[in-house]
């Protein structure tokens, strides 16, 4: 139906032109063309189809494709699409020189392996699977390390680049550990002479005591004798006895200062001496029992000041170079996940645990309300990092083979250069580049492995080692 309509329209247009120009044609004896001899509109030459069939498409132009011959739901066959008919996003590259007015073809430098292997040839050849080697023209191989990728491929693979920048890296090192008492804040209550415990105060293990609070009363013949000698000195020598040998003896026996002051005030030696707490703290042990005999050195009470505690954190051996004294630490107790305790690194222990390959780090924490208890599990974040900024790239930009670290430099216009680098410190998102990249250099941060696979990157890396195309 459409060819007939087109023919009718063409005939009508010809007749109209003949009517309008009839006078001119009659005077000059012009001959109008035979309408039957005119080429039909549908007979226009179609572009030549070449290449193999690469897929099949819907005859109505719907977005439906198939890799093999198929039919639509109404029984019509899908139309074959040859290689020359497929839409390509590749940039057509004419083999001409940079001068648009000149038609001088580019010179073929060599032919490279179509699979990206580091194999080149000075003449055309095929690989073991029968695939033709790809020609490399002048300007496409500026040096042995530059790779050129067409914009079409870049768009499809999602290649993205970012410039290297100066940043201050601060990577928290995480470790776990336990809460322990400050060894410097533990004291014991003991006697230095034979004594008998008369009574014990109503304090038990876990109770908090204040400095000077009475803990027990005991009788010691040796302490009583030393007190009587001191009292004699007081009555005879007056204030000179305050610095005499009798007072020194009482102090050497561990008699509390309050008990000595009581002898000075009352001018008599009491039968029972009251032993008091030497500092504020929590009772860790209560070994004193009424009526017991205490030998010199027996521990009657053990006290600990818990206002400051230690977090002993195990840190991996590989992280030790980044830890220094004084670095801030954030500690979270697993029993109090909503609270963060701030401290600083106070000690890096000199031993490495041979089973876990970790080193213990001591962190001092303020514990005014006493909720951090000994042997409680904690997680710690140690803030590390230098104060000066360094050249960094995103961590995704580094291709690390274990033996070699490489980044892809984006040189613009589809040109890329793989460049070996030396790495430094890392944080969660960035890595320090100590050599190989300058600030401002654009590095590929996405799809860099696809560039490696599609752009003969292995051949380019071989060029970095001194390999020249053969």
Q: Out of 383, 406, 428, pick the residue that ends a domain.
A: 383
Give burial (CB, 10 Å; 0-12/13-18/19+) of 42: exposed
Evaluate whether residue 129 is within a structural domain.
no
Output the pLDDT for position 27. 43
Higher local confidence (pLDDT), 157 or 42? 157
Evaluate whether residue 134 is within a structural domain.
no
Q: Are 24 and 30 in contact (CB under 8 A)?
A: yes
- 161: part of which helix (H) or strand (E)? strand 160-163
Q: Tokens 């996940």 correspond to what residue?
A: 337
Whether residues 292 and 196 fall in one domain: yes
CATH number of the domain enclosing 271: 2.40.50.100
Whether residues 289 and 326 fall in one domain: no
- Domains held by the chain: number: 5
Evaluate whether residue 399 is within a structural domain.
yes
Output the pLDDT for position 414. 79
Q: How far apart are CA 112 and CA 115, in angstroms?
A: 9
**Residues pairing with 108 in the sheet:** 137
Evaluate whether residue 160 is within a structural domain.
yes
Say what the pTM is. 0.54
Rounded (to 5) percent helix, strand, coil in the chain? 25, 35, 40
Evaluate whether residue 128 is within a structural domain.
no
Is residue 10's pLDDT more than 80?
no
How distant, in Å, are the alpha carbons of 146, 148, 229, 393 from that of 139? 10, 10, 109, 29
Whether residues 330 and 423 fall in one domain: no
Evaluate whether residue 438 is within a structural domain.
yes
Whether residues 344 and 412 fall in one domain: no
The whole-number average pLDDT for the span 40-68 is 70
Question: Quick count: other Cβ atoms within 10 Å of Cβ 104?
Answer: 10
Whether residues 231 and 289 fall in one domain: yes
Q: Out of 297, 330, 359, pick the residue that ends a domain.
A: 297
Output the pLDDT for position 232. 84
Whether residues 283 and 324 fall in one domain: no
Whether residues 273 and 338 fall in one domain: no
Whether residues 373 and 397 fall in one domain: no
How distant, in Å, are the alpha carbons of 111, 411, 458, 467 from that of 118? 11, 22, 6, 9
Give burial (CB, 10 Å; 0-12/13-18/19+) of 449: middle
Higher local confidence (pLDDT), 246 or 211? 211
Largest Cα–Cα separation, the chain: 167
Whether residues 434 and 357 fall in one domain: no
Residues 6+ positions from 470 with CB-CB distance below 8 Å:
110, 120, 121, 122
Evaluate whether residue 469 is within a structural domain.
no
**Residues pairing with 303 in the sheet:** 187, 283
How distant, in Å, are the alpha carbons of 192, 205, 228, 270, 301 from that of 294? 9, 19, 22, 19, 12
Helices 221-237, 257-266: axis angle to 10 degrees equals 50
Q: Is 326 helix (H, G, I), strand (E, B) or coil?
A: coil
Whether residues 323 and 408 fall in one domain: no
Whether residues 281 and 334 fall in one domain: no
Is residue 461's pLDDT more than 60?
no
pLDDT in tens, 190-204: 999 999 999 999 999
Is residue 309's pLDDT more than 80?
yes
CATH number of the domain enclosing 321: 2.40.30.170
Per-residue pLDDT band for 213 (boundaries 50, 70, 90) equals very high
Query: What are the φ and ψ backbone dihedral angles of 117, each rounded to 5 degrees?
Result: -75, 150
Residue 310 belongs to domain spanning? 173-182+306-383
Per-residue pLDDT band for 15 (boundaries 50, 70, 90) equals very low
Whether residues 199 and 232 fall in one domain: yes
pLDDT in tens, 385-429: 766 788 999 999 998 878 888 888 898 877 888 888 999 888 778
Query: What are the φ and ψ backbone dihedral angles of 23, each rounded to 5 degrees?
Result: -60, -45
Beta-sheet strands, E only, within 403-458: 405-412, 415-420, 422-426, 430-435, 442-446
Q: Is 259 helix (H, G, I), strand (E, B) or coil?
A: helix
């Amino acid at each position: 139906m459409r060819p007939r309509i087109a023919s009718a329209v063409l005939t009508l247009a010809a007749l109209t032109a003949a009517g309008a120009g009839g006078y001119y044609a009659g005077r000059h004896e012009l001959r109008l063309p035979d309408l039957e001899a005119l080429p039909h509109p549908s007979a226009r030459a179609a572009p030549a189809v070449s290449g193999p069939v690469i897929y099949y498409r819907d005859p109505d132009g719907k977005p439906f494709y198939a890799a093999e011959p198929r039919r639509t739901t109404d029984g019509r066959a899908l139309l074959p699409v040859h290689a020359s008919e497929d839409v390509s996003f590749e940039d057509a590259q004419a083999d001409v020189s940079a001068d648009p007015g000149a038609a001088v073809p580019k010179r073929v430098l060599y032919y490279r392996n179509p699979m990206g292997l580091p194999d080149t040839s000075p003449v055309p050849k095929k690989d073991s699977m029968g695939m033709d080697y790809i020609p490399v023209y002048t300007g496409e191989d500026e040096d042995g390390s530059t790779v050129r990728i067409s914009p079409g491929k870049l768009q499809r693979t999602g290649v993205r680049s970012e410039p290297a920048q100066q940043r201050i890296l601060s990577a928290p090192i995480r470790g776990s550990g336990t809460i322990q008492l400050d060894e410097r804040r533990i004291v014991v209550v003991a006697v230095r002479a034979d004594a008998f415990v008369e009574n014990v105060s109503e304090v038990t293990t876990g109770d908090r005591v204040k400095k000077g609070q009475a803990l027990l009363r005991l009788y010691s013949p040796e302490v009583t004798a030393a007190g009587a000698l001191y009292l004699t000195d007081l009555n005879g020598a007056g204030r000179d006895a305050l610095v005499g040998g009798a007072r020194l003896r009482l102090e050497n026996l561990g008699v509390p200062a309050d008990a000595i002051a009581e002898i000075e005030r009352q001018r008599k030696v009491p039968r029972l001496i009251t032993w008091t707490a030497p500092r504020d703290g929590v009772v860790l042990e209560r070994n004193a029992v009424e009526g017991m005999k205490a030998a010199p050195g027996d521990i009657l009470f053990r006290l600990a000041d818990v206002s400051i505690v230690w977090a002993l954190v195990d840190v991996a051996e590989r992280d030790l170079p980044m830890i220094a004294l004084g670095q801030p630490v954030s500690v979270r107790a697993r029993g109090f996940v909503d609270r963060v305790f701030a401290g600083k690194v106070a000690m890096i222990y000199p031993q490495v645990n041979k089973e876990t390959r970790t080193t213990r780090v001591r962190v001092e924490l303020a514990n005014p309300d006493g909720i951090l208890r000994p042997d409680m599990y904690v997680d710690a974040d140690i803030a590390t990092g230098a104060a000066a900024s360094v050249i960094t790239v995103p961590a995704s930009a580094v291709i690390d083979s274990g033996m070699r670290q490489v980044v892809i430099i984006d040189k613009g216009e589809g040109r890329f250069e793989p460049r070996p680098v030396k790495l430094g410190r890392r944080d969660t998102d960035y890595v320090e580049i100590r050599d190989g990249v300058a600030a401002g250099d654009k590095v590929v941060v996405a799809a860099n492995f696809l560039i490696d696979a599609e752009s003969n990157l292995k051949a380019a890396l071989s060029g970095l080692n001194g390999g020249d195309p053969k």
